[in-house]
């Protein structure tokens, strides 16, 4: 970015001699997943960006600004999609944005190594009749694979400007912007290169004539709507049906005729024809010269090897956790020292208000900082690396059959692993799954995943005061519980499972800026969600404490805590406090009995407390996001299931463990 | 098929067994294996295999065993399909006891007409495996998808016509083999998603890797690599694009 010097151009903003027909416009980046759109976006906008959600949609929206030759350019990074067939939120968001917001130009980013498949999407963009610039990215990787693309030929075949880039190194980006600016200033009509077979084309025309005569209020071109209706696009059909149902019945007739002629559903006819054209363009513009197999391919062979693949997958996951907790431990040490001035006050001496503000609100902030900085950020950093390099895709490939046992497919591994850092963003990321049922199943499994806070609890109680093997044992126990509960949940929610359809991207060294941005975006959304709950939650609990409510409640819980679980009475207080955040159990315990916890608890009690603490409730923040994503009912069922599991497993261990310890 | 010679039930039973075993073992099926499966003396099996070889259903070489030819495969997969569809029917609809299903289906499969087979498949909503989880082969009618079969309900199978080529599932493709996608079984949404990713009717696919434990399949299509869950991949059927020596190796011994 610095090399390109986009920011320097800002000066020209005040240059009165500079004239331009337009001094502010919008560029949208669109294309398949993992083609390097985010890299281009980062290179163009630098630090000038806002990441948020599309209004009312659970799809991430990234927006940024760029100053170029006196013009202020808004850049929108649209989600990565393969088609406009409205099966996912991402597709709907992209489509509606392009149709309704009408960006001045769309830059379609393509992966040079997979030209044909990427062109399929380009053709759909061209059908939407938006000013288009085609950006062929990662040409260096393609060249390594022996794929040489002819820029001129491609440009000629498509009839829109084509630019080659290697975005990670900033190559070609200046030219890309220049062409995009030119395309935005003098919008040329996008050539209609997609002509379907005569019998299809005739029907598209006849339908689009009918649509234009009915004058619908939809913001799409008539031809495009006609194509989509014939393709049986549920969104468009639904919207048109509201206004003029006769269009749909006429379209059904036409689609039937097409199916009659081709003996294929009409969507298949059109998809095939588009692909035929994509193939024609791609094979006309590229040459495959055979060079030796690149390193990434050889690495790929190991990563998905029927035996070695499991080792490498396990290594990736274990490595991620080890890295997180080694770094986390180190950083936490430093931070705890920094926060050593923070000592909870005793409300009996200081008064309730101070206790609520200091112990509660400020304590919540301290707790949040000491969790997020040392544990969550390092976790996100490495996870983002694993994701962007394509390693995670390989792990998902290897683990698909295991995930099937709990009704999910390989892709669901990504949220589940995210759950090891913190459940909240993990549940958020279940959006990548196809159906609500799958998202629920995944979210349910995630609430059992040993997040950073749970790990701290296990380490703080069991590893230190029993031994490290029991701590590891609890980790394994947790995995078994995830599996069993996943199975039960699967049996309880009948329905079809969606199969895995996932692109195996070329393995590559990810861009550092993308990793940083992604980590920051994730951390930020976590902070927004978690911090208020930490602060308010611990203040409320302190208030209860100061009002003397906790003790009676704790006594009331005695039949469970003492009777069933064999814990001391004050465990009730610990569990209430821990609902805000799991390691509060540990912190409060320390404030009760001092740092040598072994004075208060025996090994069985340590283990049982760790198990119960780990399982009994998702923390408040997790419950909050469950409610937000799935509603009250689902959230309470999941919470209830957690609670029941904790009692059953905890009770069982309380009875059995004394024989072993 | 051009020759409409009637095939005896006996022959169908033989071909069915050879089909089943060769899919499991991927090598020629020995006489003793067939004899065990059909409970017939090895001598008679050898006799029969010679006869089948002469009629072009199998390649039989004495010591090695038998391998289905394209012609044999066509008959075998059809009768296996009818058998497994019937098993589903007896299990799901008639709710017969599980241990009776197999022998019952063995009796019925030879009498089931193609039209009845198609109707059964529609009634059962295009099942892809029998109650024992063995895959049900694709039908040999000229359809590209189940959707099409449903839409052309009023035409009977003679009007639709049957394929000349044998279809095999993508997951049975061997290394270095290329198939042309000819039929995708399953619901509209899955087909749509597959098509968006480049797996259209007529696209060339090859298998890069099959993950163990019934894991996904990595395929190469249109220059991209895709991972398809086993449940999806097994319903994508291809015609094998012949490289060489298919007849030498027989139709079911790939790679």
Look at residue A447 and tell me whether its pLDDT is greater than 80: yes
Look at residue B214 and tell me whether its pLDDT is greater than 50: yes
Q: Are B50 and B31 in contact (CB under 8 A)?
A: no
Residue A1, pLDDT score: 38
CA-to-CA distance for B69 and B1, rounded, in angstroms? Answer: 13
Q: Are B132 and B91 in contact (CB under 8 A)?
A: no
Residue B90 and residue B139 in one domain: yes
CA-to-CA distance for B46 and B35, rounded, in angstroms? Answer: 9
CA-to-CA distance for B166 and B138, rounded, in angstroms? Answer: 9
A51 or A143, higher pLDDT = A143
Cβ contact, residue pair A85, B223, below 8 Å:
no
Residue B135 and residue B202 in one domain: no
| In a domain? residue B133 | yes
Last residue of a domain, one of A185, A213, A242: A185
The CA–CA distances, whole Å, from B76 to A102, B79, B241 equal: 57, 5, 20
Residue A244 pLDDT grade (very low, low, confident, very high; cuts 50, 70, 90): confident
Residue A228 and residue A342 in one domain: no
Instruction: Strands of chain B (E only): list them.
Output: 58-61, 65-68, 167-169, 178-184, 204-210, 217-221, 224-228, 236-241
| In a domain? residue B254 | no
Residue B103, pLDDT score: 84
A272 chain-B contacts, CB cut-off 8 A: 195, 200-202
| In a domain? residue A581 | yes
Residue A333 pLDDT grade (very low, low, confident, very high; cuts 50, 70, 90): confident
Residue A442, pLDDT score: 92
| In a domain? residue A178 | yes
Q: If you average pLDDT over every residue of chain A, what do you get?
A: 82
Residue B172 and residue B207 in one domain: yes
pLDDT in tens, A202-240: 888 888 888 888 777 777 888 888 888 888 888 888 888
Over residues A630-647, mean pLDDT: 92
| In a domain? residue A570 | yes
Residue B139 and residue B180 in one domain: no
| In a domain? residue B201 | yes
| In a domain? residue A298 | no
Last residue of a domain, one of A119, A151, A185: A185
User: Which range among A240-254, A577-591, A600-614, B54-68 shows the weakest confidence by mean pLDDT?
Assistant: A577-591
Residue A353 and residue A481 in one domain: yes
Residue A443, pLDDT score: 93
Beta bridge partners of A52: A61
* CATH code: domain of residue B239: 2.30.30.90
Last residue of a domain, one of B105, B126, B160: B160
A304 chain-B contacts, CB cut-off 8 A: 209, 211, 218
| In a domain? residue A190 | no
Q: Which pair of tokens denotes residue B99?
A: 């241990």
B196 chain-A contacts, CB cut-off 8 A: 82-83, 85, 120, 271
- Choose among B93, B144, B100, B98: nearest CA to B119: B93
Nearest to A304 among B189, B201, B211 (CB): B211
Residue A179 and residue A58 in one domain: yes
Last residue of a domain, one of A185, A214, A244: A185
Residue A126 and residue A246 in one domain: no
Last residue of a domain, one of B45, B68, B91: B68
* CATH code: domain of residue B133: 1.10.60.10
User: Which range among A71-80, A587-596, A641-650 shows the weakest confidence by mean pLDDT?
Assistant: A587-596
Residue B136 and residue B173 in one domain: no
Residue A90 pLDDT grade (very low, low, confident, very high; cuts 50, 70, 90): confident
Residue A235 and residue A375 in one domain: no
Domain holding B82, by residue range, is: 73-160
Domain holding A229, by residue range, is: 198-288
A462 or A346, higher pLDDT = A462
Look at residue A5 and tell me whether its pLDDT is greater than 80: no
pLDDT in tens, A16-57: 333 445 678 899 999 998 888 888 998 888 766 776 666 666
* CATH code: domain of residue A222: 1.10.287.1770
Residue A235 and residue A148 in one domain: no
Q: Angle, to 10 degrees, between the axis of helix A413-421 and the axis of helix A308-338?
A: 30
Look at residue B247 and tell me whether its pLDDT is greater than 60: no
CA-to-CA distance for A545 and B155, rounded, in angstroms? Answer: 77
Number of domains in chain A: 3
- Choose among A151, A244, A254: nearest CA to A200: A254
Residue B115 and residue B44 in one domain: no
Residue A579, pLDDT score: 83
Residue A171 and residue A212 in one domain: no
Q: Tally C-beta pairs within 8 A across A and B.
A: 133
| In a domain? residue A293 | no
Last residue of a domain, one of B68, B98, B115: B68
pLDDT in tens, A428-440: 888 778 788 888 9
Q: Which pair of tokens denotes residue A583?
A: 């390691």
B151 chain-A contacts, CB cut-off 8 A: 259, 265
- Choose among B98, B99, B103, B85: nearest CA to B39: B103
Residue A497, pLDDT score: 75
Residue A88 and residue A109 in one domain: yes
Which residue of A lies nearest to B234 if distances are taken between CA atoms? A499
pLDDT in tens, B27-61: 888 888 888 888 888 888 888 888 888 888 888 88
Cβ contact, residue pair A504, B144, below 8 Å:
no
Phi, psi of A543 (to 5 degrees): -60, -45
The CA–CA distances, whole Å, from A433 to A408, A483, A497, B85 equal: 9, 19, 11, 32
pLDDT in tens, B116-146: 888 888 888 888 888 888 888 888 887 777 7
| In a domain? residue B3 | no
- Answer whether A129 touches B (CB < 8 Å): no
Phi, psi of A552 (to 5 degrees): -55, -40
Residue A325 and residue A348 in one domain: yes
Residue A283 and residue A317 in one domain: no
Task: Count the helix, strand and coil residues of chain A and give each as a percent rounded to the nearest 5.
Answer: 65, 10, 25
CA-to-CA distance for B238 and B184, rounded, in angstroms? Answer: 9
| In a domain? residue B255 | no
Residue A291, pLDDT score: 67
pLDDT in tens, A54-76: 666 667 778 888 888 888 899 99
* CATH code: domain of residue B18: 1.10.10.10
- Answer whether B62 touches A (CB < 8 Å): no
Residue A4 pLDDT grade (very low, low, confident, very high; cuts 50, 70, 90): very low
Over residues A478-506, mean pLDDT: 86
- Answer whether A239 touches B (CB < 8 Å): no
- Answer whether A263 touches B (CB < 8 Å): yes
What distance in Å separates residue B215's CA from the closest CA in chain A? 5
Residue B78 pLDDT grade (very low, low, confident, very high; cuts 50, 70, 90): confident
Residue B176 and residue B152 in one domain: no
Residue A19 and residue A161 in one domain: yes
| In a domain? residue A102 | yes
What distance in Å separates residue B240's CA from the closest CA in chain A? 20
ipTM entry: 0.79
- Choose among A321, A521, A524, A314: nearest CA to A420: A321
Phi, psi of B250 (to 5 degrees): 85, 170
Give the rounded percent of residues in chain A with a pLDDT score beyond 70: 92
B221 chain-A contacts, CB cut-off 8 A: 117
Which residue of A lies nearest to B194 if distances are taken between CA atoms? A501
Residue B81 and residue B53 in one domain: no
Residue A410 and residue A446 in one domain: yes
Residue B84 and residue B149 in one domain: yes
CA-to-CA distance for B88 and B102, rounded, in angstroms? Answer: 10
Number of domains in chain B: 3
Nearest to A271 among B195, B214, B216 (CB): B195
Task: Count the helix, strand and coil residues of chain B and give each as a percent rounded to the nearest 5.
Answer: 45, 20, 35
What distance in Å separates residue B252's CA from the closest CA in chain A? 23
| In a domain? residue A451 | yes
Look at residue A8 and tell me whether its pLDDT is greater than 60: no
- Answer whether A304 touches B (CB < 8 Å): yes
Residue A317, pLDDT score: 84
Residue B192 and residue B149 in one domain: no
- Answer whether B38 touches A (CB < 8 Å): no
> What is the distance of C-alpha B12 from the center of its chain?
14
Look at residue B162 and tell me whether its pLDDT is greater than 80: no
Q: If you average pLDDT over every residue of chain B, what do you get?
A: 81
Residue B153 and residue B217 in one domain: no
Give the SS3 label for residue A137. Answer: strand
Residue B178 and residue B212 in one domain: yes
| In a domain? residue B4 | no
Cβ contact, residue pair B148, A259, below 8 Å:
yes
* CATH code: domain of residue A94: 3.40.50.300
| In a domain? residue B84 | yes
Over residues A611-632, mean pLDDT: 88
């Amino acid at each position: 970015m610095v090399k390109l010097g986009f920011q320097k151009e800002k000066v020209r903003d005040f240059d009165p001699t500079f004239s331009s027909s337009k001094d502010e416009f919008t560029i949208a980046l669109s294309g398949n997943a993992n083609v390097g759109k985010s890299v281009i976006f980062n290179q163009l906008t630098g630090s000038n960006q806002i990441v948020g959600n599309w209004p009312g949609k659970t799809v991430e929206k990234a927006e940024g600004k760029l100053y170029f030759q006196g013009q202020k350019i808004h850049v929108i990074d649209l989600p990565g999609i393969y088609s406009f067939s409205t099966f996912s939120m991402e597709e709907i968001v992209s489509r509606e944005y392009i149709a309704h917001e009408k960006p001045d130009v769309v830059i379609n980013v393509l992966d040079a190594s997979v030209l044909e498949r990427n062109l399929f999407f380009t053709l759909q963009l061209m059908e939407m009749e938006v000013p288009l610039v085609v950006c062929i990215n990662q040409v260096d990787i393609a060249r390594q694979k022996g794929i040489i693309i002819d820029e001129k030929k491609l440009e000629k075949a498509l009839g829109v400007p084509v630019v080659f880039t290697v975005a990670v190194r900033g190559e070609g980006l200046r030219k890309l912007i220049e062409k995009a600016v030119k395309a935005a200033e003098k919008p040329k009509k996008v050539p209609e290169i997609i002509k379907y077979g005569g019998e299809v084309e005739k029907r598209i025309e006849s339908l689009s004539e009918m649509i234009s005569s009915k004058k619908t209020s939809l913001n799409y071109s008539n031809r495009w709507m006609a194509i989509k209706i014939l393709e049986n696009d549920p969104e468009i059909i639904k919207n048109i049906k509201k206004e003029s149902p006769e269009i749909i019945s006429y379209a059904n007739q036409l689609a039937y005729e097409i199916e009659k002629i081709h003996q294929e559903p009409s969507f298949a006819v059109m998809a095939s024809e588009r692909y035929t054209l994509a193939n024609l363009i791609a094979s006309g513009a590229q040459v495959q010269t055979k060079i030796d197999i690149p390193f990434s391919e050889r690495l790929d062979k190991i990563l998905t090897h029927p035996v070695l693949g499991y080792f490498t997958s396990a290594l990736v996951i274990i490595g991620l956790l080890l890295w997180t907790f080694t770094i986390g431990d180190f950083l936490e040490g430093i931070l705890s020292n920094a926060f050593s001035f923070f000592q909870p006050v005793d409300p009996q001496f200081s008064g309730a208000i101070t206790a609520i503000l200091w112990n509660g609100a400020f304590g919540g902030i301290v707790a949040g900082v000491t969790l997020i900085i040392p544990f969550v950020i390092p976790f996100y950093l490495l996870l983002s690396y694993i994701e962007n390099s394509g390693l995670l895709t390989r792990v998902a490939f290897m683990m698909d059959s295991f995930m099937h046992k709990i009704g999910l497919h390989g892709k669901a591994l990504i949220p589940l692993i995210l759950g090891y850092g913190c459940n909240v963003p993990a549940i958020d990321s279940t959006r990548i799954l196809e159906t609500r049922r799958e998202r629920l199943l995944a979210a349910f499994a995630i609430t059992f995943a040993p997040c950073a806070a749970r790990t701290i609890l296990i380490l703080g109680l069991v590893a230190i005061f029993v031994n490290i093997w029991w701590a590891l044992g609890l980790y394994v126990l947790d995995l078994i519980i995830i599996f069993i509960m996943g199975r039960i949940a699967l049996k309880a929610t009948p329905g079809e499972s969606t199969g895995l359809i996932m692109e195996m991207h070329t393995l590559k060294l990810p861009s550092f800026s993308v990793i940083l941005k992604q980590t920051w975006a994730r951390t930020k959304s976590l902070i927004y969600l978690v911090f208020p709950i930490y602060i308010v939650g611990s203040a409320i609990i302190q208030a209860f404490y100061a009002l003397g409510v906790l003790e009676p409640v704790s006594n009331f819980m005695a039949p469970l805590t003492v009777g069933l679980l064999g814990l001391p009475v004050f465990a009730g207080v610990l569990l209430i406090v821990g609902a805000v955040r799991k390691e509060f159990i540990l912190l409060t315990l320390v404030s009760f009995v001092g740092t040598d916890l072994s004075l208060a608890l025996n090994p069985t009690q340590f283990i049982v407390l760790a198990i119960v603490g780990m399982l009994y409730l998702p923390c408040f923040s997790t419950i909050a996001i469950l409610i937000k994503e799935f509603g009250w009912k689902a959230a309470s069922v999941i919470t209830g299931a957690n609670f029941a599991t904790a009692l059953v497993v905890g009770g069982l261990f309380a009875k059995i463990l004394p024989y072993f310890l | 098929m051009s020759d409409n010679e009637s095939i005896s039930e006996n022959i169908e039973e033989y071909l069915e067994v050879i089909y089943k075993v060769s899919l499991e073992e991927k090598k020629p099926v020995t006489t003793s294996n067939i004899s065990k499966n059909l409970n017939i003396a090895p001598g008679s099996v050898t006799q029969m295999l010679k006869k089948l070889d002469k009629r072009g259903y199998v390649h039989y070489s004495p010591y090695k065993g038998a391998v289905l030819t394209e012609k044999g495969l066509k008959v075998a997969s059809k009768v296996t399909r009818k058998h497994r569809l019937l098993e589903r029917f007896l299990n799901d609809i008639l709710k017969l006891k599980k241990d009776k299903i197999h022998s019952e289906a063995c009796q019925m499969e030879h009498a089931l007409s193609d039209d009845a087979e198609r109707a059964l498949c529609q009634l059962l909503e295009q099942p892809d495996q029998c109650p024992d989880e063995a895959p049900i082969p694709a039908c040999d009618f000229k359809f590209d998808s189940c959707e099409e079969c449903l839409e052309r309900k009023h035409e009977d199978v003679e009007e639709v016509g049957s394929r000349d080529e044998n279809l095999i599932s993508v997951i049975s493709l061997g290394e270095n083999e290329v198939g042309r996608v000819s039929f995708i079984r399953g619901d509209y949404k899955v087909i749509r998603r597959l098509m968006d990713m480049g797996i259209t009717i007529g696209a060339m696919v090859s298998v890069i890797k099959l993950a163990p434990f019934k894991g996904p399949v990595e395929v190469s299509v249109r220059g991209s690599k895709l991972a398809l869950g086993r449940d999806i991949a097994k319903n994508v059927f291809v015609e094998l694009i012949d490289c060489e020596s298919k007849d030498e190796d027989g139709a079911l011994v790939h790679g």
